[in-house]
A = this chain, B = another copy of it.
Amino acid sequence: MTLPQRYYTDSDVYSREMDRFFFGRWMCAGREEQAANTGDYFLVELAGESVIVTRDASGKLQAHFNVCRHRGTRMCTEHSGSFAGGKIRCPYHAWTYGLDGGLLGAPHMGKDFDRTEYPLKPVAVDTWQGFVFLNFSEAPASLAEQLAPLTQAFAPWRMSELRMHRRVVYDVRANWKLIVANYNECLHCPPVHPALNKLTDYLGADNVAPSPHYIGGSMGFKPGIETMSPDGVRRRDYLPGLGEAERKQVAYYAIYPNLLLSLHPDYMMIHTLWPRAVDRTEIVCEFHFHPAEMAKPGFVSEDAIELWDLTNREDWRISELSQLGIGSRGYTPGPYSQREELLQAFDQVVTTGQMLE
């Protein structure tokens, strides 16, 4: 059965869920290429928080709250950039920090003041396959262990080598879990996605056993289809590491809490989810390609982007309708079909430790 209403409509449940399921887990924050060189940074903003992710002089990624230790000022406002001279300087009273968060200067603080007591507050940061993950807990579990099975399974796609080509941002009036649920079943494909449904068989999903850290599976193409594009034609070379099997399917995985990873034969699409309120989610959809492919004359991407933009909008609309209906006093949990088994696994993981009824 689906979850009770409050999981989708109650702001208090939402706040607890954010604390536990987002801020208490490794969440996807972006890609390593967003802070490629020493001093480069990008901001990660979620639920009122702002975190600076930067690369230090040793080449290591660093993540700190974007909050000056003096009077709490948000220091960086540009979404990305580079710290001149490798220093992070608060615009209010010029407290200055190193890329590792250490406090370097604080004017007029007196001789008893000990700079080492006021570094920027760190956030745990790690990487996987070119992705940057953050974790706000005190003692995070190992990201590498959590995703080890996927590391092996996804090796042929060589995700670390891929680079972003296009980003599209959507503002969706639905609880973030409805987006995850929508992503993880294709029973809705015939009614909702007439274009997409021509390319893959909605009954053809081959799902792996659910993990506490992800769910997903693969879908094979219909005969004559070579990738997800409006006409099924593939306009780019296969990604270099793929074997015969990977060339005939798309791998769709939801890595909790906020990464939806869609591996195609010739490109990678990712969605990251950024909840804004119990009934609102910002969704960032990115298209990544192999640099060698992007360097070719005649490189095209619009076919893939067009198909998925259409499909995305169809999904967001139906998720918004779910949000509206679930808010009714006429809503009660309903039964999942045989084609929605991943959703049951997701519901169970997300509600573990917070089941309210």
Binding site for B on A (CB under 8 A): 2, 23, 48-50, 64-75, 77, 91-94, 106-110, 113, 118, 121, 123, 136, 181, 187-188, 190-192, 318, 321-322, 324-332, 334-335, 337-339
Contacts and interface: CB of A to CB of B under 8 A. Distances in A.
Nearest to A320: B74
Given A66-B330, A94-B191, A108-B337, 18 more contacts: A2-B72, A23-B329, A48-B327, A49-B329, A50-B328, A65-B328, A65-B329, A66-B328, A67-B328, A67-B331, A70-B335, A70-B337, A72-B328, A74-B325, A110-B337, A110-B338, A121-B332, A123-B330
A73 B109 contact: no
A111 to B, nearest CB: 10
Number of this chain's copies in the assembly equals: 3
Contact of A339 (B74, B108, B326): B108
Contact of A107 (B108, B110, B325, B337): B337
Nearest to A324: B74
Contacts of A92: 188, 191-192, 318, 321-322
6 tightest CB-CB pairs across the interface, nearest first? A65-B330, A74-B325, A72-B326, A74-B324, A108-B337, A67-B325
A327 to B, nearest CB: 5
A121 B330 contact: yes
Contacts of A93: 187-188, 191, 337
A235 to B, nearest CB: 32
A74 B113 contact: no
A335 B118 contact: yes
A49 B33 CA distance: 46
User: Which residue, of A68, A94, A321, A338, has the highest number of chain B Cβ atoms within 10 A?
Assistant: A321
Given A321-B77, A321-B91, A49 B328 contact: yes
A69 B334 contact: yes
A178 to B, nearest CB: 9
B331 A190 contact: no
Nearest to A68: B325
Contacts of A113: 335
A107 B187 contact: yes
A334 B108 contact: no
Contact of A136 (B123, B325, B329): B329
Task: Output the residue of A2, A326, A335 with the most chain B CB within 10 A.
Answer: A335
Nearest to A51: B330
A23 B191 CA distance: 34
A87 to B, nearest CB: 13
Contacts of A23: 329
A328 B48 contact: yes
Contacts of A48: 327-328
Contacts of A49: 328-330
A94 to B, nearest CB: 5
A108 B329 CA distance: 27
A322 B188 contact: no
Given A48-B327, A191-B93, A321-B77, A334 B65 contact: no
A236 to B, nearest CB: 33
